[in-house]
């Protein structure tokens, strides 16, 4: 969801588009997705 919407709804932003836009390789993208999933689960999502 857009960052502004997350802020309005009290959401937590785990990663911003500008921070991950350099990820173009499928393997790197899968690795990043796994790390973000783990982070979200650790935070109770």
Give the pLDDT of residue 10. Answer: 79
Residue 30 has a pLDDT of 92
Output the pLDDT for position 45: 65
pLDDT digits (tens, 9 = 90+) for 1-45: 777 787 788 777 778 888 888 888 899 889 988 998 998 899 886
Which pLDDT does position 38 carry in this prediction? 92
Burial, 42: exposed, middle or buried (Cβ in 10 Å; 0-12, 13-18, 19+)? exposed
Using alpha carbons, list the distances in angstroms from residue 40 to 20, 24, 25: 16, 22, 22
pLDDT at residue 36 in the model? 87
pLDDT of residue 44: 83
Helix, strand or coil for residue 19? helix
């Amino acid at each position: 969801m857009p960052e502004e919407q997350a802020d309005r709804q009290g959401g937590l932003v785990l990663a911003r588009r500008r921070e991950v836009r350099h990820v173009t390789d499928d393997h790197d993208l899968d690795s990043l997705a796994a790390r973000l999933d783990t982070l979200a689960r650790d935070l109770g999502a």
